[in-house]
Amino acid sequence: MIYADNAATTKLSEAALCTMTDLLREVWGNPSSLYTHGQEAKEVLEKAREEIAAVIGASPREITFTSGGSEADNQAIRSAAERGRIKGKKHIISTAFEHHAVLHTLEKLRKEGYEITLLDVHENGLVTPEEVGAAIREDTCLVTIMTANNEIGTIQPIREIGAVCRARGVLFHTDAVQAVGHIPLNVADDNIDLLSASAHKFHGPKGVGFLYARKGILLSNLIEGGAQERGKRAGTENVPGIGAMATALKEANANMAQNAAYLTKLRDRLIAGLKEIPHSALNGDEKRRLPGNVNFCFEGIEGESLLLLLDDKGIQASSGSACTSGSLDPSHVLLAIGRVHDVAHGSLRLSLGEDLSEEDIDYIIRSVKEVVTYLRGFSPIWRDLMSGKKEFIL
């Protein structure tokens, strides 16, 4: 099996699995209990907090554990919005291609009376710091822009965007779920006020993540209850998950340069191979993208049938077609970079992992070529394109 859907989730690393099973078996006390067994769990929690903070250049008190990336996004945005409201600032800037955890939260805030500006991400899937600066107003309380896009992998100039926000006194949140553990990040150097991360995207377990909030930024609770996480996130902590997340992040961080170099080589080989397919196009900037991300549109075919046939060949990938999203519209990310519906339906995302070899990449290229040719062979759109009845878009 060739697993090429690491943007959806990653396999738990052996080390993280070991940490997790050890903790489940041995350290099952409640971190809030004052007896030894509880305090052991508390120690695990605080050690994980220190280790995670160290990786991103934060201090431990700035890390709040959450149930994952979605919760961290929700809490970051809600907190900044609340701080803004108190000061009479109810304008938020973001982009059109954020993850739904961000977009749907913003949509709710819009209904609650906030004004939301969604910046254009252009054909290459990038925003510029200048555009962010131009959108900032007197009443802007937050800029939230993802570090790396989950579908097309483009990496934003967050350090520069952060600097613009800092200079204008506006909070900057970045959804770094796809970036943490994969590309270098440092909250101090990168001028980040709030950052969301999720363990299962860097070979940690699902259902656990963290929110970094710079010292002095008051968080609003999404979950009320006990005094866990300094009162900012109630609920008995997911000790094994949090411990395993720290193990996975340390490991990812230690191997980051090596992994990124290897994945970039595989990625570029795959991109070069798929470009040979006529009437296809790479989605997102070719170089400013995550090391393992490849995303293409193929004209004349539909993504779900492509995925099913690749699955038959042992290749697991994903698509932004409407049929795979369960809605009538194709991916909002592809629409945001200007792909029209007709071609957005024919998209394929391959997000690579370190376990793949160059032979695997060549097999993927061969298989995609084969399947695309096969599906085009009985596509009425392809017939119209080939006979000149319809004009090619790509």
Ligand X SMILES: Cc1ncc(COP(=O)(O)O)c(C=O)c1O
* Residues lying near ligand X in the complex (CB under 6 A): 68-70, 73, 99, 101, 146, 150, 175, 177-178, 198, 209
Residue 68: which of ligand X, another protein, none does it interact with, CB under 5 to 8 A by kind?
Answer: ligand X
CB within 8 Å of 54: residues ≥ 6 apart: none
Residue 96: which of ligand X, another protein, none does it interact with, CB under 5 to 8 A by kind?
Answer: none
Quick note: the x/- pattern for another protein over 335-374, rule CB under 8 A, is ------xx--x-----------------------------
Contact yes or no for 159/190 (Cβ under 8 A): yes
Residue 175: which of ligand X, another protein, none does it interact with, CB under 5 to 8 A by kind?
Answer: ligand X
Q: Which of 18, 165, 297, 323 is catalytic?
A: 323
By CB under 8 A, the count of residues binding another protein is 25
Tell me the pairing of strands 209-213 and 63-66.
antiparallel
Residue 322 makes contact with another protein by CB under 8 A: yes
Is there a catalytic annotation at residue 18? no
Residue 144 makes contact with another protein by CB under 8 A: no
Q: Which is nearer to ligand X, 66 or 379 (CB)?
A: 66
- What letter does residue 184 receive in the DSSP assignment? -
Beta strand spans in 199-336 (E):
209-213, 280-282, 293-298, 315-316
Edge-to-edge order in the sheet of strand 194-198 = 63-66, 209-213, 194-198, 171-175, 140-144, 91-95, 115-119
What is the distance of C-alpha 213 from the center of its chain? 18
Q: Which is nearer to ligand X, 19 or 75 (CB)?
A: 75
CB neighbourhood size of 34 (10 A): 8
Which of 118, 163, 183, 323 is the binder for another protein (CB under 8 A)? 323
- Count the residues in the chain: 394
For 225-248, the DSSP string reads SSSTGGGTS-S---HHHHHHHHHH
Q: Which is nearer to another protein, 241 or 303 (CB)?
A: 303
Residue 308 makes contact with another protein by CB under 8 A: yes
Interface contacts to another protein, rule CB under 8 A: 300-305, 308-309, 312, 321-324, 326, 328, 330, 341-342, 345, 378-383
Which residues are annotated as catalytic?
Answer: 323
